[in-house]
Chain A
Amino acid sequence: MQLFWLSFGFGLVTASVLAVSAVGLSLQFGITNYINFAYGDFMALGAYITFVFNNEVLHWNIWLAIVLAAIVVGLFAVVIQRVILSPFARRFDKTFYVLIVTFGLSLILLNVIYSIWGATVRFYSVPINRALHIGPMLLTAYQLIVMAIAVVLMLGVHVLLKTTRLGKSMRAMSDNTTLAMTSGIDTKRITTITWFLSGMLAGLAGAVLGLTEGNLTPASGELFLFVIFAAVIVGGVGSIYGAMAGAVLIGLATEVSAAFINPAYKLDVAFVILILTLLFRPSGLFARSGKG
């Protein structure tokens, strides 16, 4: 039983990282209606930019480094969207083309990261901290902070979507872009802001993934991507709250299962849940009409 609670604690940490990344992916998908297959590499980019701020020259505090890296990745995402993805999406009707372009983008980004930082495993320079007993769970202060950040961000996204004018415009666009445009919403501006938010969340998630896993490799984001996909599909593609719920479910399932099966396969559990969802509830737990 103790093992269960220990892995439950780790599950909450994984769920936090997943929630941040899955919401970032879902926000962008809802607005532009195509999946960004380079999302995992946006995460890796965030992790490595954090590494640069934190280690190499600047020796900044890790949290400051993460915030700055998130902003950099957010701006980077906007540039990518403006220069590459939007022109392709406008020019070709079928989603095929944009998907292949994002897939290619992922190949390019991954190899850029490899060329700059190499294939060696890197570590953040953070002081080693002792694990704290939180009830039956055993967590480090960093893991607790990561969980707090996730909760705050999720609440922030909720407030943004439900109460602000920007959030209302985003939801309107996500429901029907053409209708939103005819109602006088500046869709181009909303798209840009969404990409910035999505990139920021990706960068942040990548950095905290590196922090919670204890190391970073260029392919870590890409390998994590399918867990994000699982969370998003299980929750219902395009639904922000579904993505949050899916993240908690998948995060807990993968970590708790690691207590009972070989931990090398823990991420594959996410895939099994994904397949089960597809078989029995293909539209996801929190399906939205109009996105099926």
Chain B
Amino acid sequence: MTQVFYYVFTLIFFLFDYFILAMGLNIQYGETGILNFAYIGFVAIGAYVTGAVSLPNSVGTGQHYILGLNMPFPFNLLIGGLTASAFAVLVALISLRRLRTDYLAMVLISLSLVLYDICNNFVPLFNGADGLYNVPAPLAGVLHLTTNSFIPVIALVTGVIAMFLWWVMSRITQSPLGRTFRAIRDDETVAAALGKNVFRKQLTSMLIGSFYAGIGGGLIIQFGGSFNPSAWLPGETFVVFAVIIVGGVGNNVGLLMGSLLVETLLVHLPAFLPAIPGHPGLIEYIDAMLIGVLLMVMLWFRPQGVVPERVRKSTVIDKLLLNSNGASAVGESLHDEEATSVSQ
């Protein structure tokens, strides 16, 4: 009974955590059209920084890491998120200028590999290949949690954070800023012609998305108490892409669905299956292949995802059309870019 209880809350944790990660990638890829193949790198930065600021000074712990500030729960997470954001802006400043989609994707995937290489080899930074461990559990001291009661609490806390971030994200996507993002995604040139500073908006999108990545990563290290390079091979970025493409690009409800289908059911449920004797790791390998196949099948047969993006209508444009010739039916077929030009 306790075992099942533990599994269920682990699954709930990953459901919400990947929902957060998916929202972050969605605003970059789904809303603004930046193909961020380095996404897992920002998640890792969030996780490492969150862990390193909440650990005590590294002298005498047997680990080597920077920071070590003994910082208590929500603040460590915040620092993790903000560091990921700051790093993303730095990366975007260099790479988003004058680079087309595929060049950018090449540079970003290279960045992801180099980050991995440095964290894996440079021990004084985040303890090299061993990674950080013994990271203090959040709220454990305040609520007097034991190892068993900790799991449901962190799952709940992650749920609350996810709901809050969801609310924030829907405010952003409905705002003029969100409309500009989508205009850039659909056609950069048109957005620029309408007077939008495309580069700056892309920077903003990277900043917001990477903050989500950092928070999601921070929660991972808080949940497990440890984090090492084997957790964020560049291929992990693909899992987050699978979540948003399966669930539905540009739709927050879809992202929650995607997280449930891909991360919870496909990635974490099989981890509880008994290993095939004589073939260690075979289940994970087959699992990863399935995710790849699922994504291709989805892209081919249902590229809009399980829950497609809503066609956003502008009330302003409806009124305008109604006043001029009474043809509101025309207004319904209009998409976002047109609405942007009128309503702003």
Contact = CB atoms under 8 A, between A and B. Distances in A.
B249 to A, nearest CB: 10
A275 B94 contact: yes
A48 interface: no
Interface residues of B, number: 46
Given A97-B299, A111-B285, A114-B285, A229 B110 contact: yes
B227 to A, nearest CB: 20
A271 B114 CA distance: 7
A223 B94 CA distance: 23
Interface in A155-179: none
A107 B97 contact: no
Interface in A97-154: 97, 99-101, 103-108, 110-112, 114-115, 118-119
A67 B242 CA distance: 36
A175 to B, nearest CB: 17
A119 B100 CA distance: 36
Contacts of A60: none
Given A88-B300, A97-B303, A267-B117, A233 B103 contact: yes
B121 A265 contact: yes
Given A107-B291, A110-B235, A111-B289, A96 B103 contact: no
Interface in B278-292: 279, 281-282, 285-286, 288-289, 291-292
A274 interface: yes
A230 interface: yes
Contacts of B299: 88, 97, 100-101
Nearest to A119: B281
Contact of A115 (B102, B241, B286): B286
A219 B241 CA distance: 21
A95 B102 contact: yes
Give chain B's interface secondary structure class. helix
Nearest to B112: A226
B281 A274 contact: no
B103 A115 contact: no
A275 B101 CA distance: 16
A27 interface: no
Nearest to A104: B292
Contact of B35 (A99, A110, A225, A229): A99
A3 interface: no
A229 B286 CA distance: 28
A: interface residue count bin:
35 or more
Nearest to B236: A107
Nearest to A232: B106
B241 A271 contact: no
A226 B98 CA distance: 20
B135 interface: no
A35 B106 contact: yes
A25 to B, nearest CB: 10
B37 A268 contact: no
A265 B118 contact: yes
Contact of A107 (B122, B235, B282): B235
Contact of B99 (A37, A114, A282): A282
B33 interface: yes
A44 B183 CA distance: 40
Nearest to A219: B233
Nearest to A262: B121
A275 B293 CA distance: 33
B37 A103 contact: yes
A34 interface: yes
Kindly name the residue among B33, B100, B238 whose own CB sees the greatest number of chain A CB atoms within 10 A. Answer: B238
11 contacts: A97-B299, A101-B299, A104-B242, A104-B292, A104-B295, A118-B281, A225-B113, A229-B107, A265-B117, A267-B114, A271-B111
Interface of A: 34-35, 37, 84, 87-88, 91-92, 94-97, 99-101, 103-108, 110-112, 114-115, 118-119, 219, 222-223, 225-226, 229-230, 232-233, 237, 262, 264-265, 267-268, 271, 274-275, 278-279, 282, 292
Interface of B: 33, 35, 37, 94-95, 97-103, 105-107, 109-111, 113-114, 117-118, 121-122, 233-235, 238, 241-242, 245, 279, 281-282, 285-286, 288-289, 291-293, 295-296, 299-300, 303
Given A37-B37, A118-B281, 11 more contacts: A35-B106, A97-B299, A100-B241, A103-B37, A103-B238, A104-B242, A104-B291, A108-B292, A112-B285, A115-B285, A226-B113
